[in-house]
Amino acid sequence: MLKFLLLCTLAVASRAEIAEEEDVLVLKKSNFDEALKAHPNILVEFYAPWCGHCKALAPEYAKAAGMLKAEGSAIRLAKVDATEETELAQEYGVRGYPTIKFFKGGEKESPKEYSAGRQADDIVSWLKKRTGPAVATLAGVTEAESLIADNEVAVIGFFKDAESDGAKAYAKAAEAIDDIPFGITSDDAVYSKFEISKDGVVLFKKFDEGRNTFDGELTKEKLLAFVKANQLPLVIEFTEQTAPKIFGGDIKSHILMFLPKAAADFQDKMEQFKKAAEGFKGRILFIFIDSDVDDNQRILEFFGLKKEECPAIRLITLEDEMTKYKPESNSITAESITEFCTRFTEGETQGGRKRSGCQDIPEDWEKTPVKVLVGKNFEEVAFDPSKNVFVEFYAPWCGHCKQLAPIWEKLGEKYKDSADTIVAKMDSTANEIEAVKVHSFPTLKFFPAGDERKVIDYNGERTLEGFTKFLESGGKDGGAPAGDDDDDDLDSDEMAEDPLKDRLQC
């Protein structure tokens, strides 16, 4: 009996070690497994105390935890200080802050990446969708009205026969979407309330036209396309809250309008932008960026824009080959934007691409230990068959680039008198070249001597010793062929920065 009591006491003590802050569990390596056993469905935020995005998320995250706790839900929210619990952070591939993962059913091997918004309601809705039935049965008008009222976007399937092929396709589509609630009803009163005369699917939303009715063959694929095309506003303002929806979606072509919200003609230009958006639903996201907001200046710089140059239109594709485009005309009308987008979708926008020779060659570009490259001299320097050229592609605002700068200068000093090695740098926010695609900053690439035009990515330590070994080995020690580079090889405190996704993570 004494042994049994002792074991019970130890078990209670172990559970007591999981502290809470504002209804959020505080996890460490020592209690992580215990937490997963005690709470089979748990959302875990890996954060850094200094991270601005984590600080912005904190009150909404705590609010979501409180909402679930007040409902008596078994779902819990937790957080891990990834700067202290480095083993846990490494185990779960934490590369930026915040990283949020959902552990379902006590499984710790393959958690689901959180992919919804940063508001408390978004978090709660996503978790309920992940843990409950994919489709809620709506028995009457009150339940249907509540589903619509409680959510920014909701989908209702009207099916007299829940076993019909259409209803089954609808259920499969619902299972594939995490962040939108789906309901189903066969109730005549609900049909009447929403003026539905036959089986079908309606998406209800609190913006734009208010509702969209599906028209087509009821298949999972077509239903998913319908929802994805209509679940976002025609024009989305880029903010901390909307960023996850922008980057988490399937639409990877984004057109951006940079415009100060305080501008006298703001409403007129917004109407023109929105009018153009109507013809590209499901194909191109139309995004508005307030060019007066300080946090958006990085994005302007990434596109080579200054505040005084706004309003301006730019288009970017976020596929493996990130490409930026600008229209030939500065006009912001529905007609000009529609023409630009049409040319893009038809593959005719090459003439509107940002050209490589954006900056003039500085007079003293080769007089400093680290040579300065721009679009106009990159080709002849980087692919000089008699030289080994090591280039840093940087952004002026990038914190990691600033940390690297003194080391890169020392490397330049070390090789300034070399007959066959050049250390160089290029501002990739002001220069874009066809030969190299830069997706994040800093990007380090080596162009070895020879006629083969080889490009080798640097994956090693960002130290003078690491760079020296790399150069002395001819690009072998710490290098990988271009195309094989994986951000996972970077240290967690040296994550490459993307000016767009930077609004999501530190």
Which of 8, 358, 401, 506 is catalytic? The answer is 401
Q: CA separation (Å) from 377 to 357, 380, 411, 484?
A: 8, 6, 21, 26
Please report the pLDDT score of residue 150 as a whole number: 87
Among the options 54, 310, 341, 358, which is catalytic? 54
The model's pLDDT over 197-232, given as tens digits with 9 standing for 90+, comes to 999 999 999 999 999 999 999 999 999 999 988 988
Residue 358 among the catalytic residues: no
Give, as one character, the DSSP assignment of residue 496. -
Q: Dmax over Cα atoms in the chain, in whole Å?
A: 87
pLDDT reported for residue 499: 56
**CB-CB contact of 438 with 392 (8 Å):** no
pLDDT tens digits, one per residue of 386-429 = 999 999 999 887 778 888 999 999 999 999 999 999 999 999 87
pLDDT tens for 317-359 read 887 667 788 888 889 999 999 999 998 888 765 444 444 346 7
Q: Which domains does the chain have, with CATH numbers?
A: 20-131 (3.40.30.10), 136-229 (3.40.30.10), 236-346 (3.40.30.10), 371-481 (3.40.30.10)
Could you report the per-residue pLDDT of 237-254, keeping only the tens digit for each? 988 777 777 877 778 899
* The pLDDT value given to residue 348: 61
CB 435 within 8 A of CB 382: yes
Give me 191's structure tokens. Answer: 């049909």
Report which of 440, 439, 445 is spatially closest to residue 457, judged by C-alpha positions.
Answer: 445
Instruction: Please tell me the predicted confidence (pLDDT) of residue 500.
Output: 57
The yes-or-no answer on residue 310 being catalytic is no
Instruction: Report pTM.
Output: 0.61
Other residues' Cβ atoms within 10 Å of the Cβ of residue 287: 23
Q: Which of 310, 341, 358, 398 is catalytic?
A: 398
How far apart (Å, rounded) are the C-alpha atoms in residues 298 and 301?
Answer: 5
DSSP notation for 265-312? THHHHHHHHHHHHGGGTTT-EEEEE-TT-GGGHHHHHHTT--GGG-SE
Please tell me the distance from the alpha carbon of residue 361 to that of residue 348, in angstroms, as a whole number: 30
In which band, very low, low, confident or very high, does the pLDDT at 4 lie, cut at 50, 70 and 90? very low
The one catalytic residue among 8, 51, 310, 506: 51
- Other Cβ atoms less than 10 A from the Cβ of 26: the count is 15
In this model, does residue 497 exceed pLDDT 80?
no
Active site includes 398? Answer: yes
- Residue 480's pLDDT is 58
pLDDT for position 349: 55
Is the pLDDT reported for residue 483 higher than 60?
no
CA distance 79 to 75: 14
The residues, any chain, with a CB within 8 Å of residue 254's CB and separated by 6 or more, are: 246, 284, 285, 286, 287, 315, 316, 317, 318
Kindly list the distances between the CA atom of residue 104 and the CA atoms of 37, 47, 422, 475, in Å, as whole numbers in the listed order.
11, 20, 52, 44
Render pLDDT for 425-445 as a digit per residue (tens, 0 to 9): 999 877 878 778 777 788 999
Mean pLDDT, the chain, integer = 85
Secondary structure element (H or E) that encloses residue 408, with its range? helix 399-414
Number of neighbours of residue 266 by Cβ within 10 angstroms = 15
Q: What is the pLDDT of residue 308?
A: 87
The secondary element (H helix, E strand) that includes residue 298 is helix 297-302
Q: Is the pLDDT of residue 15 over 80?
A: no
506 in catalytic set = no
Name the amino acid, one letter, at 114: Y
Query: Which sign does the torsion angle of CA 117, 120, 122, 123 carry?
Result: positive
Give the pLDDT confidence score for residue 175 in this predicted structure.
87
Determine the average pLDDT of the residues in 468-475. Answer: 93
Burial class (CB in 10 A: 0-12, 13-18, 19+), 411: buried
Residue carrying structure tokens 């926010």: 429
Size of the chain in residues: 506
- pLDDT tens column, 97-127: 899 999 988 788 878 888 778 889 889 988 9
**β pairing state of 371-373 and 312-317:** unpaired
Tens-digit pLDDT profile for residues 232-241: 899 999 887 7
How many Cβ atoms sit within 10 Å of the Cβ of residue 194?
18
